[in-house]
Amino acid sequence: MYPDKNPETDQNLCGDACGTMPPCAPLAVPYVPFQQTGSKRYAQQDALQNGTLFPGLNLPFHAKSQAVKALGGPLAELQALEFVLNELGLYLDTHQDDKEAFTLYQQYAALEKQARAAYEAANGPLTQSATANAKSWSAWLGDSWPWNYQEGGDK
């Protein structure tokens, strides 16, 4: 019962309802599975495509779209590395003593740094802060943007 509701005038406020949702109905019922230390992991491209690094968290709530275009190229590789870093970071937030996962995080961070440097050397900066390493601000404004995909390449 809500404290501001009068039980005498608002009958069955939280009871069964036919065709309408009572005001006290939950919008969602969250379920978060407990992750074990040393959980199995997907390869980085599989992690990006599945939306999780960990197969144990890949719950079948939504059907995969068959129309999703396969990712490829240097930008997709960089996105996959960044995704894995984010997933490992979230895992380490709750498993801070997992030395293997932290070592893996460090390795992926080094790979991401190399991939980002290579991508930006070939295609220009991905963020405004990366422009600080450029010769001028026109590197940010003048080049095409990474999401301006054209057939035949990443740019």
What does the block give as tokens for 54?
A: 């960990």
In a domain, 91, yes or no: yes
Residue 76 lies in a domain: yes
Report how far apart, in Å, the C-alpha atoms of 22 and of each of 6, 137, 152 are: 15, 56, 54
pLDDT of residue 149: 55
Q: Classify residue 115: in a domain, yes or no.
A: yes
Q: How many domains does the chain have?
A: 1
Nearest alpha-carbon partner for 55 in 69, 67, 38, 72:
38
pLDDT for 40 equals 87
The whole model's pTM is what? 0.57
Q: Would residue 74 count as lying in a domain?
A: yes
Question: What range defines the domain where residue 105 resides?
Answer: 44-60+68-142
155 assigned to some structural domain? no
Which residues 6+ apart lie within 8 Å of 25 measured at CB?
14
Query: Does residue 126 sit within a domain?
Result: yes
Confirm if 112 and 82 have CB atoms less than 8 A apart: yes
Q: What is the pLDDT of residue 97?
A: 93
Structural domain includes residue 2:
no
Token digits for 30? 């969250």
Q: Which residue numbers in the chain have pLDDT < 70? A: 1-33, 59-72, 143-155
In a domain, 28, yes or no: no
